[in-house]
Chains A and B, each alone.
Chain A
Amino acid sequence: MNITDRELWTLIHGMGFGALFLVAFAGGLAGIYSLRPQLVTAEGISERVSRLRWGTIVMAVCVWLTVIVGTFVVYPWYRATPPEGIDRAVQSESLSQYPRYWLLASEETAEYHHFGMEWKEHVAWISPLLATVVAYAIFVYGKELAAKPQARAIIIAMFFLSFAVAGIAGVLGALITKASPLT
């Protein structure tokens, strides 16, 4: 088994930080949803708020790291220009080292770039903004959130939105990687 630097960083980006955020979402959602006096004792609310504060901060950090690593480490490899000697019109073995150009070399795969990558690379940056607000809101409200159903519902909506945006980027990323993996 051999893993290249490019494969390792792609794994860190998608299966590390990205997947951690998406997987932790369910736990965070359950924690915020159940933060209500009729479901949890006062002691339980204190314990849950503490866990939620740390959990949402870690999630926000994960989604920031996902987009930063994706944009500044992995993306330059994806969009790198092949040297003059490589034919950009044929999906050859040597062109496969340049995923953007490999995808564009065939009409059957060009949409992975034109639609998939173009949307993924941009929309992903909205997710950390929303995740940061969720973490900040949990930090600011603290235990008070249990007595504020409207604030709780709004935070859940922001959380969902952050997850949905990250989910779009994640699914598109998986499809692009399947079509033209970074090796």
Chain B
Amino acid sequence: MATQTTEREISTADRAVGAAMIASGIGSLVLGLAIILSEASAGFKTFVTWNAGVGALSGKSGLSVIAFVVSWVALHYVFKTKPLSLMTSFIITLVLVALGILLTFPPVFLSFGS
């Protein structure tokens, strides 16, 4: 994909990759939040049980993937007019992914169990 870059501009490629990176962080965080909500609320656990054989994992992973795709598309268009530098996007992504991983850690999410 061709890009036009000057010293002060953020290239088209940096914008596109930055949007995708942050979207992966959002998907990770949504996964973590869905796990916490599923532990804390029986109603939410039922809501995310999209497949009886798989149980709540089906909806938790499904919500994460939906958040990833939707936020990727949204950020892709937002970054066309309001871009962040690649490094800023990367730092935001690292924070979101770290939070997501932390919330998947059993000692953390099981402490929210009802």
Interface residue ranges, A against B (CB under 8 Å): 67, 71-72, 75-76, 79-80, 114-115, 118-119, 121-123, 125-126, 129-130, 132-133, 136-137, 139-142, 144, 150-151, 154, 157-158, 161, 165
Contacts and interface: CB of A to CB of B under 8 A. Distances in A.
Contacts of A71: 54, 57-58, 61
Interface in B36-59: 51, 53-55, 57-58
A140 to B, nearest CB: 5
Contact of A133 (B17, B100, B105): B17
A137 B3 contact: no
A133 B20 contact: yes
B13 A140 contact: yes
Contacts of A136: 16-17, 20
A137 B17 contact: yes
Contacts of A129: 23-24, 27-28, 64-65, 68
A130 B97 contact: yes
Nearest to A119: B106
Nearest to A123: B104
26 contacts: A71-B57, A72-B53, A79-B55, A114-B106, A114-B110, A115-B107, A118-B109, A121-B57, A122-B35, A122-B60, A122-B104, A123-B101, A123-B104, A123-B105, A126-B28, A126-B104, A133-B23, A137-B21, A140-B16, A140-B17, A141-B1, A144-B13, A150-B86, A151-B13, A157-B90, A158-B90
B13 A67 contact: no
User: What is the size category of the interface that chain B forms with chain A?
Assistant: 35 or more
Given A71-B57, A118-B106, A119-B105, A158 B100 contact: no
Interface of B: 1, 3, 13-14, 16-17, 20-21, 23-24, 27-28, 31, 35, 51, 53-55, 57-58, 60-61, 64-65, 68, 86-87, 90, 93-94, 97, 100-101, 104-107, 109-110
A142 B1 contact: yes
3 smallest beta-carbon distances between A and B, as pairs: A76-B53, A122-B104, A129-B24
A132 B24 contact: yes
B113 to A, nearest CB: 11
A121 B61 CA distance: 9
B54 A72 contact: yes
A122 B3 CA distance: 37
Contacts of B106: 114-115, 118-119
A67 B61 contact: yes
A133 B21 contact: yes
Given A133-B24, A136-B20, A157-B90, A122 B13 contact: no
